[in-house]
């Protein structure tokens, strides 16, 4: 059975990678034009993304088309690695390294930065989970892992494409609403990871009680 930590890394890693792809597509559609400065906007003229400031990004390349192509390539690599290879040895480190070119080649600002944090979480996937008893808040949040992770996913959907859709289809421009959505999404991300750790601890404890002589210190997190 997949660990809760792996589910968190795979889903949120794919999420950040898809956001990077979205930035790259916007840059590709701008065509073979010169870039003025490091800071760019992936969708500067798209009404759909006006609530998000045209999707800011950065690039060290002087060309928008190649910036977009590399953003898509590295973002797709990030997605594939998060889903299929994150539990491997050095899998988390590779995710962190892939987030660097995502940032430097137009993959947005927050997607690669948060992707690096997901990579940091992935470095713990191979760490054996202790079968010691879990109590207090740890037990509560471990038991509620599914609900917390679902709320995290809903919050990120509300941020993207939710905020953009509200502005485009309903004309919602209230910065307070946008800030609340951003705050909730960012707050739930670390909470969802912590609850996944507690969930794995509860599962390890359950396994150790069920099979005390067969329980291994190494948990299959892949």
Residues 59-68 have pLDDT tens digits of: 999 999 999 9
- Asked whether residue 171 is assigned to any structural domain, the reply reads yes
Single residue among 100, 127, 154 that ends a domain in this structure: 127
77 and 173 share a domain? no
- Percent of the chain at pLDDT above 90? 73
Give the domain range for residue 87: 1-127
3-state secondary structure of 39: strand
- Asked whether residue 17 is assigned to any structural domain, the reply reads yes
Q: Are 112 and 102 spatial neighbours (Cβ–Cβ below 8 Å)?
A: yes
Mean pLDDT of 197-207: 90
Q: Are 180 and 188 spatial neighbours (Cβ–Cβ below 8 Å)?
A: no
- Higher pLDDT pick, 1 / 157: 157
3 and 64 share a domain? yes
81 and 51 share a domain? yes
169 and 96 share a domain? no
Burial of 54 (0-12, 13-18, 19+ CB in 10 A): middle
**pTM recorded for the entire structure:** 0.90
Q: In the chain, how many domains are there?
A: 2
3-state secondary structure of 135: coil
| Range with top average pLDDT, 72-86, 120-134, 160-174 | 72-86
145 and 108 share a domain? no
């Amino acid at each position: 059975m997949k660990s809760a930590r792996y589910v968190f890394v795979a889903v949120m890693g794919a999420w950040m990678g898809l956001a990077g792809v979205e930035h790259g597509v916007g840059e590709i559609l701008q065509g073979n034009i010169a870039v003025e400065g490091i800071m760019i906007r992936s969708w500067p003229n798209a009404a759909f993304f006006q609530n998000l400031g045209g999707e800011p990004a950065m690039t060290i390349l002087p060309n928008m088309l190649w910036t977009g192509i590399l953003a898509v390539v590295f973002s797709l690599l990030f997605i594939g690695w998060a889903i299929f290879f994150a539990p491997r040895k050095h899998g988390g480190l590779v995710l962190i390294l892939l987030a660097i070119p995502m940032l430097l080649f137009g993959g947005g600002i927050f997607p690669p930065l948060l992707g690096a944090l997901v990579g940091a979480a992935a470095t713990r996937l191979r760490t054996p989970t202790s079968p010691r008893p879990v109590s207090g808040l740890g037990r509560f949040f471990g038991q509620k892992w599914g609900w917390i992770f679902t709320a995290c996913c809903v919050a990120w959907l509300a941020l993207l494409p939710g905020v953009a859709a509200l502005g485009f289809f309903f004309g919602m421009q209230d910065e307070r609403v946008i800030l609340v959505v951003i705050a909730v999404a960012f707050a739930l991300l670390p909470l969802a990871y912590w609850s996944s750790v507690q969930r794995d601890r509860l599962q390890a404890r359950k396994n150790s009680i069920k099979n005390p002589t067969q329980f291994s210190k190494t948990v299959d997190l892949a």
